Amino acid sequence: MTDAAKRSRTNPTTVYFSGAPCECAPGETVLDALLRQKPDLAYSCKKGTCLSCILKADGPVPAEAQEGLSPTLAKQGFFLPCLCPPLDGMLIEPAEGKGLFADATIESADQLAAHITRIRLRPNEAFEYEAGQFINMRRDDGLTRSYSLASVPGQDDLLELHIKRLENGIMSNWAADGASVGDAVEIQGPNGSCFYLEGNAGGPLMMIGNGAGLAPLQAIARDALDRGHRGDIHLYHGSRHADGLYMRDELAELASQHANFYYHPCLSGSAVPKGCRRGRAEDVAFGDHQDLKDWHLYLCGYPPMVEAARKTAFLKGASLANILSDAFELRELRIEPRD
């Protein structure tokens, strides 16, 4: 634990948000302290994964509050209040108007499957990214959520998101029912390091995802093939029900075009139609391949699956450095559950 974290466990400290003092209770993060005064501040996972809560500091920032940020953002004083033990006298400003978010327009919104909405965005300015990275999308009321990029630079003209509808989920239901062509949103990113790495063109790749976890994985697979990856690529997509296995035709087509690309649709429910594998994606994948030494793995989607698969892959010989992942962490609703 850093000195700053130790101090904040014992002494109440005062930070200043847009000039207004905010007292932080011992052990509290800057985000939780600020939320008591400003409940409408943007945040989601509170784990440092999604970056939705990013703010800017004028002055020193505890190192742990900038872990996972790009050096450019860290240098400019951006930090994650959800990971930040308060420093007494810390001066904090909103991230708005600081060049972090860029404007984009919704070019299309349609249903890829019963619960998956595809949103295509046209950024107003050039937006460089790697297939599989994620962005934060902010609605005009400030609601911000993270979404992985399903598009591939050089192959797809627009930024593409696959958004799974969740019961009572605010953004995902808006994407499905409320978002219209021409709507303006803001985007921040690209974020994350879950993308294809060159230098291993002959090695095997294993991709495991469930639900909308397919979005980054199919993009990484297409990107890898486009860049001439020669090793085998196994993509395992899991769902409980057949209608969750979206893009089946497209992925089967991709497999027919590339002898080294294998698509494995997996169903964990009781009905398993022809062409699908029975079981959870991670169980099927690890059943197929016992020794993962020299494999590179990509894991995306439901956080408990990602965590369990990471452990299993490591135990089967994969190096931790070769396991890239994005856990789709949801907003923390335990502290302030909605009615």
- DSSP result, 200-260: -TTS-EEEEEEGGGHHHHHHHHHHHHHTT--S-EEEEEEESSGGG-TTHHHHHHHHHH-TT
Answer yes or no whether residue 147 interacts with ligand FAD by CB under 6 A: yes
Answer yes or no whether residue 114 interacts with ligand FAD by CB under 6 A: no
Site string for ligand FAD, 16-45 (x = CB under 6 A): ----------------------------xx
Answer yes or no whether residue 326 interacts with ligand FAD by CB under 6 A: yes
Q: What is the spatial order of strands in the sheet that 91-93 belongs to?
A: 20-24, 13-17, 91-93, 55-57, 78-79
| DSSP state, residue 85 | P
- By beta-carbon proximity to ligand FAD, the closer residue of 48 and 86 is 48
CB of 162 to ligand FAD, least distance (A): 6
Written as six digits, the tokens of 181 are 């062509």
CB of 176 to ligand FAD, least distance (A): 9
Answer yes or no whether residue 239 interacts with ligand FAD by CB under 6 A: no
- As to burial, measured by CB atoms within 10 angstroms (0-12 exposed, 13-18 middle, 19+ buried), residue 105 is middle
- By beta-carbon proximity to ligand FAD, the closer residue of 24 and 45 is 45
CB of 57 to ligand FAD, least distance (A): 23
Site string for ligand FAD, 50-89 (x = CB under 6 A): x---------------------------------------
CA dist., res. 224 & res. 265, Å (int): 20
CB of 337 to ligand FAD, least distance (A): 5
Q: Is 236 within 8 Å of 285 (Cβ atoms)? A: yes
CB of 233 to ligand FAD, least distance (A): 20
In this structure, the strands spanning 296-301 and 20-24 are: unpaired
Helices 248-257 + 214-226 axis angle, to 10:
20
Q: CA dist 86 to 2, 51, 65, 230, Å?
A: 12, 18, 10, 49
Residue nearest to ligand FAD (CB): 169
Answer yes or no whether residue 186 interacts with ligand FAD by CB under 6 A: no
Binding residue for ligand FAD (CB under 6 A) from 4, 22, 83, 215? 215
Q: Which of residues 152-171 bind ligand FAD (CB under 6 A)?
A: 162-164, 166-171
Answer yes or no whether residue 303 interacts with ligand FAD by CB under 6 A: no
CA dist., res. 320 & res. 121, Å (int): 34
- By beta-carbon proximity to ligand FAD, the closer residue of 168 and 180 is 168
Q: Is 161 within 8 Å of 119 (Cβ atoms)? A: yes
Answer yes or no whether residue 195 interacts with ligand FAD by CB under 6 A: no
- By beta-carbon proximity to ligand FAD, the closer residue of 8 and 210 is 210
Look up tokens 């002959």; give the residue: 202
CB of 302 to ligand FAD, least distance (A): 10
Sites of contact with ligand FAD (CB under 6 A): 44-45, 49-50, 134, 145-148, 162-164, 166-172, 212, 215, 326, 328-331, 333, 337-338
